[in-house]
Chains A and B, each alone.
Chain A
Amino acid sequence: AQTVTQSQPEMSVQEAETVTLSCTYDTSESDYYLFWYKQPPSRQMILVIRQEAYKQQNATENRFSVNFQKAAKSFSLKISDSQLGDAAMYFCAYRNSLGAQKLVFGQGTRLTINP
C-alpha cells in the first residue's frame, strides 16, 4: 500500500520570505500523481498544485512550485513571497494512475506566516 509522510508537523516563515514543505512517499508504481492541498481555517480543501510522475519538469503555479525527485520519492512544496493568506494546513497527497483513484494523504504541515 502507498504511504505519504510529512515529517514537519509545523513550519513558520516571515511574510515575503520563502518556505519549503517536505513530503516523501512510498510506492511500487511507476506512474502516479502527486498533489498539494491547502486547508485554511475554514477547513475547505483547496488544490494548490499537482505533478504527473511521468513528467520530469517540476510543476509551477504562480508563487507555488514543487521539487519532484522521483528516484528519491520526494515531493516538496516551495512557497515564494509568503503572504498572510498562505497560513493553513498543507497536505501532500498521492494517487495511482491506474486502479483505485483514491487520494492517500500525509499527516499535514501547519504553516504559520509571521508578519
Chain B
Amino acid sequence: DSGVTQTPKHLITATGQRVTLRCSPRSGDLSVYWYQQSLDQGLQFLIQYYNGEERAKGNILERFSAQQFPDLHSELNLSSLELGDSALYFCASSVWGNRGETQYFGPGTRLLVL
C-alpha cells in the first residue's frame, strides 16, 4: 500500500458525460501528479499540482481539468467524455528525500466510457 488513495476504483459512464476522479496524497506530500494509462498511448503525464498550484502540464485535453484543494487532495474532472477517454487514471504523490524525489502511485481509477 503506497498510502495514496483514489476513488472511485471503477467508473462506467456514457459518452458526453462528466466525471470527477479523486485523489488523496500520502500524509505530508505536497505534490500530486495525474497520469493516464491507455492501450494506445501508454502511460502519459497529464498534470502536476504542488501545494494547491498548477506546476506542470502535459498532454491534457482541454476537456479535462484538475485542481488541488487546501487539504491537498486533488480532483481530476473529465467532461464531454469520448470512447477514447476509457483508460486507467493514476494519481501519484511525491516526497523529497536525500535521494531526490520519489513518486508513489495510487491504485488508479478505471474509467470505461460506453
Contacts and interface: CB of A to CB of B under 8 A. Distances in A.
Contact of B100 (A33, A43, A100, A103): A33
The A contact surface, by secondary structure, is loop
A101 B56 contact: yes
Interface in A65-105: 91, 95, 97, 100-105
Contacts of B35: 103
Interface residues of A, number: 22
Interface residues of B, number: 26
Contacts of A43: 88, 107-108, 110
Contact of B43 (A42, A50, A91): A91
A47 interface: yes
B48 A102 contact: yes
A52 B102 CA distance: 11
Contact of A105 (B31, B43, B56, B104): B43
Pick from A50, A52, A91, A102 the residue with the most CB of B within 10 Å.
Answer: A102
